[in-house]
Amino acid sequence: MHSTSRRRLAAVALSTVLAAAGTACSSGSGSTDTKGADSGTYTIWDPYPQFAKGSAWVKLLDACGSKAGVKVKRTGFDTSDLANKTLLAAQQGNSPDVLIVDNPVVSTLAEAGVLTTTDENKLDTSTVDPNLLAAGQSDGKTHGTPIGANTLALYYNKKVLKEAGVDVASIKDWKSLTTALEKTKKAGKKGITFSAIGTEEGSFQFLPWFWGSGAALTDLDSPAAVSALSLWKGWLDKGYAPNSVLNNTQTTSWQEFASGDYAFAENGTWQLAAAKKAGFDYGVLPIPATGGGNAAAPTGGEFVTVPVQSDTGRYATTSKLTACLTSNTNLYDTDTTLSYVAPTEEVRNKQVAADPALGPWVDAVKAAKGRTSDDLGTKYPKISEQMWKAVQSALSGSKSPKDALTSAQAAVK
């Protein structure tokens, strides 16, 4: 009798708990103690887990700390985790003192009331390019300053293009690009690879084509938008792009390009260092718009922000820290390590002088557009989710581009 009732209890407890464990979104108890006991310690969260202790980035943080006369406690998070971690920390009242976060998240965190404005935190944004700063602005207030910017362009493999008989200078619009892909396919090579995965990354990669068609994020099912999705769909149908793009992250897509078989890859500034190691001659081309000219690509890169603290006395020291992090010399060093383009003209000139290969990227960043710009703010995440779903539906063949975008637009409303 005892053993059966115990087993019964165990079975119920177990089944309940296991299912709950898989889902619990709640109450992530604040075990990440951000403050520490003494107020002389300032916490910094960043999305660069690839930088370990002893790396230039962490050394820079420590140096800025000692300059401000405080100790710095730094934690690196996975970038997709950071927004939720920050929200939870804010709920528990232990936000970090400085938060470096992906730019489309800034407006969400600002909406949540987690971030101070530049009026309060004394961040100097006067020299930052307005198109980059826009991603951190909502309701006329600025909530941070970019630490660096990156964007998308087309990398191309010179050898493959030569074998296919394609002249890069001839690629000016979508039509000539598609012709180039056709030629590469005929030459027995592979055309283009990109990332159309069902996450924010997929939307990020689709945006240059979306904007390049003349479409606007507020109108997902416009004929222009349909033409952009049809372009991608056509490439997949004709075999110019591999079917695996549906599951490609930007990293796996880059690996495909690095195999040396592909003529083109849509990828970001941050791959520049990897491109130099790829072992073949490559070039960079801005993504063309439908009728010629360059398409606006979305800006990537992180913002330095200052989360709201209950102890407002901390802001004075925090502003010393952020001023140090965004000073010209440090921006230069940081953006070089991250392979980013600097957000200010002065530092950018210095970067191009040191590495002329950055030239096309600087132009691309100047033409780039924030995803949350145009005062989209927190509407962007909803639009973006529907957009990547539409891309996935169309490319996998479960819906036509037009139907996919029509239902996406309907779901946003």
List residues binding another protein (CB under 8 A).
2, 4, 7-8, 11-27, 83-84, 87, 90-91, 104-105, 108-109, 111-114, 197-200, 242-244, 246-247, 256, 378, 380-382, 384-385, 389, 392-393, 395-399, 404, 411
- Smallest distance from another protein to CB 382, Å: 6
Cβ proximity to another protein: between 173 and 261 the closer is: 261
Q: Tell the residue number behind the tokens 């409303």, with chain if given.
A: 413
Cβ proximity to another protein: between 22 and 69 the closer is: 22
Cβ proximity to another protein: between 2 and 413 the closer is: 2
- Cβ atoms of 71 and 65 within 8 Å: the answer is yes
Cβ proximity to another protein: between 106 and 365 the closer is: 106
Cβ proximity to another protein: between 288 and 381 the closer is: 381
- Smallest distance from another protein to CB 247, Å: 5
- Smallest distance from another protein to CB 212, Å: 23
- Smallest distance from another protein to CB 116, Å: 14
Cβ proximity to another protein: between 370 and 381 the closer is: 381
- Smallest distance from another protein to CB 251, Å: 12
- Smallest distance from another protein to CB 35, Å: 17
Cβ proximity to another protein: between 4 and 126 the closer is: 4
Cβ proximity to another protein: between 9 and 354 the closer is: 9
- Smallest distance from another protein to CB 380, Å: 7
- Smallest distance from another protein to CB 169, Å: 30
